[in-house]
Amino acid sequence: MIRFGMRPRVSATIAAGAIALLLGTSVQAQANGQRIVSVGGAVTEIVFALGEEDRLVARDITSNHPSAALALPDVGYIRRLSAEGVLSVNPDMILAEPGAGPIETLELLRAAAVPIIEIPEGFSREAIRGRILGVADALGVSPKGQALANAVDRDIDAALAQVTGAGERKVLFVLSAAGGRVMAAGANTSADAIITLAGGQNAAVGFDGFKPMTEEAIVTSGADVILMMDRSGDHELSNADIRAHPALGQTPAGRAGQVLRMDGMMLLGFSVRTAEAITALSAALVEDAQ
């Protein structure tokens, strides 16, 4: 990871002037970007799928697929970017998912006259198509975007046609369980959306977003399957941890050891690999039901 020291101060007047200049920048001028920093794993995957990866000079830490992306300089976590880190690779365009920041970093980048193009997010087929077309338009390769969006649509159609047998399986997506406190995915989340597409039911009901669940709510959720991102380190929750947890261990999933771990970006990214995620999750739910 690239690390740097103190950030220079930029006056509000200079920043305002730079922003005004950027607002007047034409889409065509932005599309000429040949030194691009991609911020957000879904956006990076789309750039590679479009065959435009040679224009990338850096990526954020969430951009871990395809493996070739890991060879690019890492400018930090999407929400904790360093202006110095980004500017060190001399970019002429930044493609970013919503939520990139902090705001102070974005202001410094805009003051440095680097166009920042935000690619909309969402958890639906329409949102995936919009993301693909948005990235392609920003890169000036709209025909490639249309072709890729159509191909992804076909892949999702094929994946959904194979979704059978998951039935009423209740799936509890656990984002983390630091200190024993379970952070789960409620409605209006990427996890809720992918569980539904794969034919399952979200076991976390009554709230939106990623929020802590009480032990009582977990036990009464009736979760048949516990779903988590496949990762290691401080966020890892082993099967033994789940069985020992006072709430997770009492769910049908915890008692039976029905725990699924999947690539987090593929599962939640809602990008070019969503059809693969639907197929993999649906098949796993059916297998665990047998």
CATH of the domain at 236: 3.40.50.1980
pLDDT tens-digit readout, 36-55: 999 999 999 999 999 999 99
Range of the domain at 181: 170-289
Please, which pLDDT band fits residue 178 given cuts at 50, 70 and 90? confident
Quick one: average pLDDT of 88-94? Answer: 96
**Both tokens of residue 221?**
């959720």
How many separate helices (H) and strands (E) can be counted in the chain? Answer: 13, 10
> Are residues 181 and 279 both part of a single domain?
yes
Taking 50 as the threshold, does the pLDDT of residue 254 lie above it? yes
Task: List all residues 6 or more positions away from 256 whose beta carbon is below 8 Å from its beta carbon.
Answer: none
Identify whether 275 is part of a domain.
Answer: yes
- Low-confidence winner among 22-31, 88-97, 104-113, 167-176 (lowest mean pLDDT): 22-31
Burial 245-272 (b: 16+ CB within 10 A, else e): bebbbbbebbeeebbbbbbbbbbbbbbb
**Domain boundary residue, one of 109, 126, 155:** 155
> Are residues 181 and 274 both part of a single domain?
yes
> Are residues 203 and 226 both part of a single domain?
yes
- Number of domains observed in the structure of the chain: 2
Identify whether 162 is part of a domain.
Answer: no
pLDDT at 1: 38
> Are residues 21 and 147 both part of a single domain?
yes
* HSE-up of residue 34 (Cα within 13 Å, Cβ side): 1
Identify whether 255 is part of a domain.
Answer: yes
> Are residues 252 and 183 both part of a single domain?
yes
Identify whether 165 is part of a domain.
Answer: no
Stronger pLDDT, 132 or 177, i.e. the higher one: 132
Identify whether 238 is part of a domain.
Answer: yes
pLDDT at 155: 98
Identify whether 1 is part of a domain.
Answer: no
> Are residues 48 and 119 both part of a single domain?
yes
Identify whether 107 is part of a domain.
Answer: yes
Distance CA 164, CA 148 (A): 27
**Domain boundary residue, one of 122, 155, 188:** 155
Identify whether 242 is part of a domain.
Answer: yes
pLDDT tens-digit readout, 105-142: 999 999 999 999 999 999 999 999 999 999 999 999 99
